Amino acid sequence: DAGVIQSPRHEVTEMGQEVTLRCKPISGHNSLFWYRQTMMRGLELLIYFNNNVPIDDSGMPEDRFSAKMPNASFSTLKIQPSEPRDSAVYFCASSLMSRGTQYFGPGTRLTVL
């Protein structure tokens, strides 16, 4: 299996622009997680889905962030409008069960100027 796939790997944008990050989980996995990693705060869970349904979005920082999972093989994390403080590495992970081993994608390094 190719593992969890994320795109783009790097994104540089200007403040105010819309940013869309994409994730393809491992086939057959029914749980998907979006994380953000910064030097100051480490790894933080933003949102997770179980069977394509958002279960816990309490980590989403504010209304500028939204996530969707239209089907079992695709999820997006959107930031609109982006701000410099959103600069971070965003990881997507999937697991077979909601409390199982999580497999991480390579991450998207976002820089907002």
Partner 1 sequence: KNEVEQSPQNLTAQEGEFITINCSYSVGISALHWLQQHPGGGIVSLFMLSSGKKKHGRLIATINIQEKHSSLHITASHPRDSAVYICAGHEETSGSRLTFGEGTQLTVNP
Q: How far is the CB of 80 from partner 1 (least distance, A)?
A: 25
**Phi, psi of 104, deg, nearest 5:** -95, 145
Element (DSSP H or E) covering residue 22? strand 19-24
Q: Which stretch binds partner 1 (CB under 8 A): 13-21, 61-69, 70-78, 86-94?
A: 86-94
Positions 2 through 61 that interact with partner 1 (CB under 8 A): 31, 33, 42-45, 48, 50, 55-56
**Structure tokens given for 84:** 């410099």
# residues contacting partner 1 (CB under 8 A): 24
**Structure tokens given for 53:** 């349904």
